[in-house]
Structure 1
Amino acid sequence: MIGRRGWGSERGAAAVEFALILPILVLILFGVIEFGGVYNAQLMVTGAAREAARDMAIHGAVNDAAEVARAAAIGIPEGALDVTVAPATCAEGTDITVTVVYDRPFLTGLFGSTVELTGLATRRCQG
């Protein structure tokens, strides 16, 4: 009968297996962190577009609507949002569309440098 010593030592097997699986675990961890950050930024951009469309539908001022969008995007650097309002005037009974675009940089750089996030909202003008 061959004992355990006959097959050789397995003392380092766990360390080798851990070393092989660690890069995959780290990649998954960074992926979850990046996805969470991008998803949060997408929610902020969409919320900013909704707030700007609401302000534009009520007040009809394009510059004020853009400022409302920038103020609603909490956590996004000032000046990083590109706000577009179409049409530029808000006549009663017409629809106004606000598009907010944000190029969010990735934290790690493993998945590229930036991702473009777009928020879109449409409201009926109140006049």
Structure 2
Amino acid sequence: MGRTDRERGAAAVEFALVVPLLLLLVVGIAEFGRAYNAQTTLSGAAREGVRVMALHDDAAAARTATQAAASPLVLSSSQISVSPTSCASSSATDSTATVRITYPLDFVGGFFGASVTLTGKAVMRCNG
């Protein structure tokens, strides 16, 4: 009792129906991994930038530290928001510094849309 040609053809059809779903699943896992890695990098970079801002009270140095910590992601200064621009100018004694990063992540396959905007944010007490 060997396989007939009809059974071999059915296996080929089933394979052809399942392969696109499996490929979509693999691409989805890869895209989620890229997005998760970028989000983790942005959060760490924001923490590094706010630490520099809180300790040294220098917004330009905070942006530079944020860009350096975000490697291999390339950030422009317009994607990094530092507030307040000076901890010394805050009237409250318990003022905080905030660094927020917005980063558009482009999807490779285009199956899940063109891009998504990721945000990294960190807050730290000034001089602290």
Q: Write the mapping of 1:81-120 to structure 2, written as runs, cut at 5 A.
A: 82-91=79-88, 93-120=94-121
User: Aligned residue for 1:20?
Assistant: 17
Structure 2's unaligned 5+ residue stretches are none
Deviation of 1:105 (Å): 0.9
Q: Write the mapping of 1:11-90 to structure 2, written as runs, cut at 5 A.
A: 11-79=8-76, 82-90=79-87
Deviations 1:10-67 (A, max 9, x none): 1211111000011100100100000000000000111110000000000000011001
Deviation of 1:84 (Å): 0.5
Is this contact kept in 1: 2:47–2:121, CA < 8 A? yes
CA distance in 2, matches of 1:80, 1:86: 13
Q: Between Structure 1 and Structure 2, whose CA radius of gyration is higher?
A: 1
Amino acid at match of 1:33: A
Number of aligned residue pairs: give it: 124
Is this contact kept in 1: 2:100–2:121, CA < 8 A? yes
CA distance in 2, matches of 1:80, 1:124: 22
Tell which deviates more after alignment, 20-29 or 82-91: 82-91
Structure 1's unaligned 5+ residue stretches are none
CA distance in 1, matches of 2:125, 2:64: 20
Is this contact kept in 2: 1:81–1:102, CA < 8 A? no
CA distance in 1, matches of 2:12, 2:5: 16
TM-score, L = length of structure 1: 0.88
Identity %: 44
Tell which deviates more after alignment, 90-99 or 44-53: 90-99
Taking a change above 3 Å as real, the CA distance of residues 51 and 10 of structure 1, as seen in their structure-2 partners, is same
Deviation of 1:74 (Å): 1.6
Tell which deviates more after alignment, 104-113 or 78-87: 78-87
Q: Name segments (4+ residues, structure 1) moved above 4 Å.
A: none
